[in-house]
Amino acid sequence: WYPRLELSYHGKVVTVTKNRAPSMVRTTVQDLAAAVEEPPRQYVVHERDRDHLLAADEMPDPIPLIDLGRLMAADEAHKLREALQTWGLFLVTNHGIEESLMDAMMSASRDFFRQPPEEKNKCSNLIDDGEHLEMEGYGNDKVVTPQDQGLSWNDRLHLRVEPQDERNFAKWPTHPESFRDVLLEYASRTKRIRDLILRSIAKILDLDEDYFVNKISNTARGFAREMGNGTMSQSSLIHW
């Protein structure tokens, strides 16, 4: 199992409305991987879509890379503006998060996903005796139209990290013991990066540098989404 970690911050609250289409609660990918030799078809990219798959070295243009240590320089600020106007996303370097902290976060995530199902299910996102799903916790996502929807070959642990008073520690793993402290430190450091980027964007727009930070700093919702991926022989054709 190979973990991925995403931290996202949202300035707006997303309201989820009920969908009248039939839904299903999925078996975890770890359970499926232990029971089958090949992934079920809904996890495999459809033949009609395979011509559109691109490896990273086949992309026509590289994803923009922004040096956060040089954001005060006019040329780097210009690169940030172009990245936002074209791609709408970018990679960062010189972000100030030590490799040791990143390694600790990955290690804690890996240790969680390597646990047996009964341990991970203590953080389950299932409620009402398994009839419904909630956003936070361990498991996978609600599927509304399983016959048409491509499914991701991973299980996830989705946790709210901001605002502080909305953290639901009942969904946070207690093993490994370091998990909570490491995630809180990692989230704190990424929040600083967010604020640095927001201040840079404000300057680009000729606004007060704290304009966006003041708008969302204490209200933005931040989430950690950690994903454990299984291995399969058709890995290049699986939805990740």
What confidence tens digit (pLDDT) does each residue in 129-139 have? 767 778 899 98
What confidence tens digit (pLDDT) does each residue in 66-117 have? 999 999 999 999 999 999 999 999 999 999 999 999 999 999 999 998 898 8
More confident residue, 8 or 119: 119
For the chain, give every domain's residue range: 2-237
Distance CA 111, CA 115 (A): 7
What confidence tens digit (pLDDT) does each residue in 108-144 have? 999 998 898 889 989 998 887 767 778 899 987 666 5
Q: Which tokens is 83 given?
A: 């990245």
Query: Which range is least confidently modeled, 53-57, 88-92, 200-204?
Result: 53-57
3-class secondary structure per residue, the chain: CEEEEEEEEECCCCCCCCCCCCCECCCCHHHHHHHCCCCCHHHECCHHHHHHCCCHHHCCCCCCEEEHHHCCCHHHHHHHHHHHHHCCCCEEECCCCCHHHHHHHHHHHHHHHCCCHHHHHHHECEECCCCEECCCEEECCCECCCCCCCCCCEEEEEEEEECHHHCCHHHCCCCCCCHHHHHHHHHHHHHHHHHHHHHHHHHHCCCCCCHHHHHHCCCCEEEEEEEEECCCCCHHHECC
Q: Please determine, looking at this structure, whether the domain spanning 2-237 carries the CATH number 3.30.230.10.
A: no
Confidence at residue 16, expressed as pLDDT on a 0 to 100 scale: 31
Question: Residues 154-173: what's their mean pLDDT?
Answer: 91
Confidence at residue 209, expressed as pLDDT on a 0 to 100 scale: 94
pLDDT band at residue 240 under the 50/70/90 scheme: very low
Beta pairing, strands 221-229 & 132-133: unpaired
pTM to 2 decimal places: 0.75
Mean pLDDT of the chain: 79
